Structure 1
């Protein structure tokens, strides 16, 4: 049976493109109805799309797989945006009133609009996380209705390179997939994984991805800091390949034998693991490589937490998620390196998610995708207007089937309006294509006229002149 109401979301990460569809139940839980994924290692690096054609092909495949499982068409999808260049930038905007008065919504809106005019070089503002407003000497989360003479708005702008959003939109446009909304993937993950108490008390969410590690800091239920570190689990895997093996085998060894606090047992022969080609590698040597790169990543994360200015205000501690968080003893090493008492791993999203548990909830690697699904609020099913069946009427008398049914009348009007709109759009499209064709032909003629005759025409004229010139000499 076809599913007619669902939310669809797509995550584009460094290792894969994942698609999901599900519906929200009345009790707040969510039922996952479809899931699909495609490998993205060859055309997405550190969250940035480098090959639009291959990305579009993968998106088309994802949509086809989801539609097959849903037995229905997808009209639009929610899309997560992230990447190496994603970060937060602080900005303040102040206004001084002529005399003390009540802060209005219009004034707050004007301050918010001015914040968006912040000058950025090769960057664009993707979203804004409003901080507290300072009215005279007092701080207010909601300034509307408060009396004062001077108001200062503190803003945290989430920015990224302009090409990040541009390439993403071009990929979906080429795949002919409509975007319902662009969602900041890290913040969607935080809303799904963190509790209200953790966000209020102060916490840092560390998402260990394949090529990047994302750091977010929350305090008083407000995002205070966001930055993306260009290091992730794949860096550890590539380091292991220095032991002369392929990345796929290195990833398996990392997951099976990786231990950040590995200690060799006292024995005459060291513990070893066997490779596919029959060679043996000491587990101690393997973990020395893993530990070195993991220590580097953790040290950089701690530096960014110190840069945020909230390293001593994290009462709820550090919450780890993502595939890299599955390394054995990651919590202990984080605790030792950062001197923070509370460190835990949030492997699963809220327990109100049902369906595909073996794929989505086993290691926390799909938490961002589930967060994007939870962020959606519009039906993504393609709604088709079906013709209303004709009523049985006697031939001797013409009956208006819409006479006593207002709902049917509205459906008929909507169907006619939709048809007229489609015909109008199709006519406009053909007219644009005609004008574009004429424009290209004119430009081509101008170009040929400006360039003059090509080499073949010049050669033909030169040879013809020589032939006729020789004929005149003979005469």
Structure 2
């Protein structure tokens, strides 16, 4: 049976393009109706699209897979946007009033507009996370109606390279897929895995992806800092390939035997080993020395970002780890050792109950962002086609088969009104074009009259007069 009410979402990450369709139930659970994925490592690197043609082909393929499972067409999708260049830039805009007065909504709108005009070289503002407004010497979350003489709006602009959004939009245009809304992936992920208490008391969300690691800091329910590191789980995998193996085999060894804080068993007569696909034996301490070294580097960079945020000592809910890379054994202990922070834990999706594809989607937290995109959507993404009312004609009368169906009558009326509106707009467009053409012709005639005959016309008339003079014609 065809599904006619669902939300569809797509996440473009460095290792894959994932898509999902489902709906949110009244009890807070999520019903997943369809799921599909495509490999993306050949045309997406660190969240940035480098080949629009291949990305468009993958998007078309993935939509076809979803529609096949839904047995219906998809009109639009929610899309997550992330990538290595994503980060936050703080900005402040101040205004001084002539005299103390009440802060109006118009003044706040003006301050917000000025914030968007901040110059950014080769970067564009994707979203703005408003912080507090400082009125005289007092911080206010909602300044409208408060009295004061000087106001400073503090903003956190979420920016990225201009090509990031442009290439993403071009890929969807080429695939002929409408975007319902572009959502900032780290923000969607935070809403999916963090609780209200954690965001209010202060926490850092660290998302270990394939090629990037994203650090988001929250305090008082407000995003305070966001940064993306160009290091991820694949960095560890590529290091393991130095043991003379393919990346696929290295990934398997990492998942099965990887340990961020590996220690040899005391009293062991021979070193513990693991077997590769081709039958070779590799000592676990050799494997995990490689894994531990790269993990330590990534965690050191994460801790450095938390220090740069200025909130490292204000995170009363600690650090929450998520993403595929967070499943590395003893990663929590490794970060405690690196940062000296006690509160470190691994997050799971907030919606505990997921019906359908739960084994795939809840496994290791690799699909938390995708589930977050689904939870953030609020519009039906199904292609709603207005059925044409069928009529049966007789010799003397015309019978309306849907005379008792009020819903279809409403749809018919809406379709008729939409058609009339389109025809009206088309007539107005043609009329504007006609008037514009006439205006241009009149201006051309006036200009020609004002400038007089051209050099060619003057020369031609002179020669004509000489050849066909009055004397010759007598």
Q: TM-score range by the shorter chain?
A: 0.7 to 0.9
| Residues 48 and 83, structure 1, Cα contact 8 Å, conserved in 2 | yes
Secondary structure of 1:241 counterpart: helix
Tell me what 2:300 maps to.
299
Tell me what 2:470 maps to.
none
User: What does the per-residue CA deviation read over 1:132-151, in whole Å, with 9 as the maximum and x for residues that have no partner?
Assistant: 00111111101111111111
Unaligned runs of 5+ in 2: 429-474
| Residues 260 and 330, structure 1, Cα contact 8 Å, conserved in 2 | yes
| Residues 99 and 149, structure 2, Cα contact 8 Å, conserved in 1 | yes
1:84-99 paired onto structure 2 within 5 Å: 84-99=84-99
Cα 1:32–1:407 shift into 2, 3 Å:
closer
Tell me what 1:324 maps to.
325
Cα 1:396–1:228 shift into 2, 3 Å:
same
1:399: Cα distance to partner?
Answer: 6.8
| Residues 7 and 21, structure 1, Cα contact 8 Å, conserved in 2 | yes
| Residues 389 and 402, structure 2, Cα contact 8 Å, conserved in 1 | no
Is 1:41 the equivalent of 2:49? Answer: no
Provide the rounded CA distance (Å) in 1 between the counterparts of 2:161 and 2:125: 9
Tell me what 1:260 maps to.
260
1:47-126 paired onto structure 2 within 5 Å: 47-126=47-126
| Residues 349 and 367, structure 1, Cα contact 8 Å, conserved in 2 | no
Unaligned runs of 5+ in 1: 429-475
Provide the rounded CA distance (Å) in 2 between the counterparts of 1:107 and 1:315: 35
Secondary structure of 2:364 counterpart: coil
User: What does the per-residue CA deviation read over 1:224-262, in whole Å, with 9 as the maximum and x for residues that have no partner?
Assistant: 000000000000000000000000000000000001111
Secondary structure of 1:295 counterpart: helix
Tell me what 1:25 maps to.
25
Provide the rounded CA distance (Å) in 1 between the counterparts of 2:398 and 2:282: 88
| Residues 78 and 376, structure 1, Cα contact 8 Å, conserved in 2 | yes
Tell me what 2:146 maps to.
146
| Residues 322 and 347, structure 1, Cα contact 8 Å, conserved in 2 | no
Tell me what 1:445 maps to.
none
Tell me what 2:284 maps to.
283
Deviation >6 Å, runs of 4+: 399-406, 421-428
1:191-230 paired onto structure 2 within 5 Å: 191-230=191-230
Cα 1:397–1:58 shift into 2, 3 Å:
closer
Secondary structure of 1:340 counterpart: coil
Secondary structure of 1:99 counterpart: strand
Provide the rounded CA distance (Å) in 1 between the counterparts of 2:116 and 2:103: 20
1:230-241 paired onto structure 2 within 5 Å: 230-241=230-241
Provide the rounded CA distance (Å) in 2 between the counterparts of 1:83 and 1:110: 31
| Residues 348 and 363, structure 1, Cα contact 8 Å, conserved in 2 | no
Tell me what 1:171 maps to.
171
Provide the rounded CA distance (Å) in 2 between the counterparts of 1:114 and 1:282: 60
User: What does the per-residue CA deviation read over 1:303-354, in whole Å, with 9 as the maximum and x for residues that have no partner?
Assistant: 0100000000000000000011000000001111111110000133421432
User: What does the per-residue CA deviation read over 1:347-367, in whole Å, with 9 as the maximum and x for residues that have no partner?
Assistant: 334214322111000110000
Provide the rounded CA distance (Å) in 1 between the counterparts of 2:135 and 2:388: 59
Secondary structure of 1:363 counterpart: helix
- Which segment drifts farther, 415-424 or 297-306? 415-424
Cα 1:289–1:128 shift into 2, 3 Å:
same
